[in-house]
Structure 1
Amino acid sequence: MFAISLGGPSLDQLKRIDLPDPPPPGHGQLLVRMHAASLNFLDLAVAFGQYPGIVYPLVPVADGVGEIIAIGDGATGVALGDRVALHPKAMWFSGRGSVEKAGITRGVTLPGSLMEIATVDAQSVVRLADHLSWEQGATLPIAATTAWNALSCANIVPGSNVVLLGTGGASTIALQLAKARGARVIVTSSSDAKLAYAREIGADETINYTASPNWDQDVVTLTNGLGADLVLDTVGTATFPRSLSAARYGGVVFTIGFVTGTALEIDLMPIIVKALRVQGNNTGSAEDFAKAMQAIQASRIEPVLAKTFGIGELAEAYYAQSHGPVGKIAIRLDW
């Protein structure tokens, strides 16, 4: 079968290879013929040598979807022909995370999605919502699980105020899921065009942080002096202090991004005085992902696809991902 190998920390090291066809699935396992994948910041970090502990060569890309073509004994809740998403945390099926569960990741420590046929544990797949295309489904495993956990952590209900930094994959699906929960959503970006699109897909308020660098105070004003119940910080060092400032008393700052770095000096007083909860996240369990998928199915949410590339256009796909697309970059596995 075909696969893509990343031989080292450079896009020049991506190449198509032949691998032996997988053996029949073992106990509790499935064979999945892969149809699409999508890129996350994690995949960029792996491709450019910015993720610790990577051993090359590897089959890259965490997120992917496909069709079940074989079922091992003891695998329940699935059927031949089911369209499924492969959860990237291959051994984190449910419950609280651990170093072991969170550390085993497709495209990082295990072969990723850029292969014809994947062997996976049946407990690590989630059935795709019926209305989603392969490419739409491929955008969801990391982004939707993360967004769902952020909204659940902050107990977002109708009337809650949610702030989303940027218009990448996690932010756009968080916007759609937050609106499905009845929340009021504020989106920040440096691009008026991206903010206009955010309003098209449901944002109630938008802030251009270049034109208004004190965007945290704008959030407080837009929420009648309260601040946000949830701030989803996808950026890191450059935004984190203002994220704390934008949160309401007892609010949650859910920190998932590090595109501007991870090291900073911070004033603890806002956290203490406002009784804030600062929550990190390393995706979540397959059970969390299944709950997000149920919400996507019920509300017929269509994830935002920035652009789809073929398997022969991988370098272009990675390049597009590195330039901050609105939504997600998908890859058709058209071998």
Structure 2
Amino acid sequence: MAWNSAKSPLPAPAAGEVLVRIRANSLNFRDLAILQGWMPFGVQEGRVPLSDAAGVVEAIGPGVTRFKVGDMVINSTMPNWFGGPFRELPLQYGIHLDGWLSQYRTVSEQEVVAMPAFLSFAEVASLPCAAVTAWTALAGVGPGQTVLTQGTGGVSLFALQLAKASGARVIATTSSEPKTARLRALGADHVINYRTTENWGEQAKHLGGGYGIDRIVEVGGPGTLAQSLKAVAIGGQISLVGVLAQGQMPGFMDIFMAQATLQPIPSGSRYDLENMLKVLAQHRLHPQIDSTFSFEEAKAAFSHFGARDLFGKVLITQDD
């Protein structure tokens, strides 16, 4: 149950639940897709939006053993997918369940995990969807391999950071020279400007040693997949994450001749979140924050996010 100041009284957690006072949220493309009617999962009208949050446990219900009052927590974006293979669509915030754009939220203790102490609430709130998606998109990547990321949104920047932490080389794409410098500062080995290099897939393949890219984190979808197919190595993988770019889908023979795996990525489970948090803590990786808005400025946050000229995550924070 979500609670805002216009409602009363404050909900009490039931058996097995925790009451979380929310300190920060982040926005994801899925949130825009839900609000604008693009999401193909039967969105229930009137649901509270947002899938990402961090906060403090204010109260616990009977039988709770994983947390105590005062613990700092982060939610898992797929609340009933705890681990194991992806066999069916899990429940989703903002679609089947109320999301996290509220001041308080009661949830099962199984839906949240302890947040790493070296990150702020705002930084932690950026992780559940985008960072976990990047983590699962890179599963199996290691030293000596080459990864390609697209643009400077949340998933792409997390993928860059996590790939470098794994020992991989990273080729990034962007449309902006100022962003080129920032991508290099984050560790990108090569940056391609896709505005000035229209056939960037072939250049990426060349930069990948001539045989191609081992793992491509594909956030564009129809508008960029054709170039990704040119860039990917035989036996490589294109992790299908998003549909940000409009365009013509490649034909069957283009896909067949690439001889690569096209793997849709459904974000990740609570187990994925917990493992990713360990890696962030080990390498002291901090999320890239584009901008921060107050809870009262939530509409402005959505407007800024919708413009899509971002470098990192857009956050909504709440004061003490």
Q: TM-score range by the shorter chain?
A: over 0.9
1:248 equivalenced with 2:233 (yes/no): yes
Q: Which residue of 1 aligns with 2:189?
A: 204
Per the normalisation by structure 2, the TM-score is 0.93
Q: Which residue of 2 aligns with 1:39?
A: 27
Once residues 245 and 87 of structure 2 are traced to their aligned partners in structure 1, the CA distance between those partners, rounded to angstroms, is: 26
Once residues 228 and 291 of structure 1 are traced to their aligned partners in structure 2, the CA distance between those partners, rounded to angstroms, is: 25
Deviations 1:290-309 (A, max 9, x none): 11111111111000000100
Residues 87 and 125, structure 1, Cα contact 8 Å, conserved in 2:
yes
Q: Which residue of 2 aligns with 1:7?
A: none
Q: How much does 1:59 deviate?
A: 1.2
Once residues 237 and 65 of structure 2 are traced to their aligned partners in structure 1, the CA distance between those partners, rounded to angstroms, is: 37
SS at match of 1:91: coil
Once residues 137 and 313 of structure 1 are traced to their aligned partners in structure 2, the CA distance between those partners, rounded to angstroms, is: 20
Alignment partner of 1:301 out of 285, 291, 314: 285
Alignment of 1:143-292 (within 5 A): 143-152=130-139, 155-261=140-246, 264-292=248-276
Residues 230 and 258, structure 2, Cα contact 8 Å, conserved in 1:
no
Once residues 129 and 48 of structure 2 are traced to their aligned partners in structure 1, the CA distance between those partners, rounded to angstroms, is: 17
SS at match of 2:69: coil
Residues 92 and 124, structure 1, Cα contact 8 Å, conserved in 2:
no
Aligned residues: 318
Q: How much does 1:55 deviate?
A: 2.7
Residues 63 and 86, structure 1, Cα contact 8 Å, conserved in 2:
yes
Residues 67 and 82, structure 1, Cα contact 8 Å, conserved in 2:
yes
Which shows bigger deviation, 122-131 or 235-244? 122-131
SS at match of 2:221: coil
Q: Which residue of 2 aligns with 1:120?
A: 107
Q: Which residue of 1 aligns with 2:127?
A: 140
Change (3 A) 1:41 1:178: same
Change (3 A) 1:272 1:76: farther
RMSD of aligned C-alpha atoms?
1.9
- Runs of at least 5 residues in structure 2 that lack an aligned partner in the other structure: none
Once residues 104 and 219 of structure 2 are traced to their aligned partners in structure 1, the CA distance between those partners, rounded to angstroms, is: 32
Per the normalisation by structure 1, the TM-score is 0.89
Once residues 113 and 332 of structure 1 are traced to their aligned partners in structure 2, the CA distance between those partners, rounded to angstroms, is: 12
Once residues 98 and 17 of structure 1 are traced to their aligned partners in structure 2, the CA distance between those partners, rounded to angstroms, is: 39
Which shows bigger deviation, 73-82 or 325-334? 73-82
Q: Which residue of 2 aligns with 1:11?
A: none
Residues 306 and 329, structure 1, Cα contact 8 Å, conserved in 2:
yes
Q: Which residue of 1 aligns with 2:77?
A: 88
Once residues 158 and 68 of structure 2 are traced to their aligned partners in structure 1, the CA distance between those partners, rounded to angstroms, is: 28
Q: How much does 1:281 deviate?
A: 1.5
Residues 30 and 121, structure 1, Cα contact 8 Å, conserved in 2:
yes
Alignment of 1:324-335 (within 5 A): 324=308, 325-334=310-319
1:79 equivalenced with 2:63 (yes/no): no
Once residues 24 and 156 of structure 1 are traced to their aligned partners in structure 2, the CA distance between those partners, rounded to angstroms, is: 41
Aligned partner letter, 1:145: V
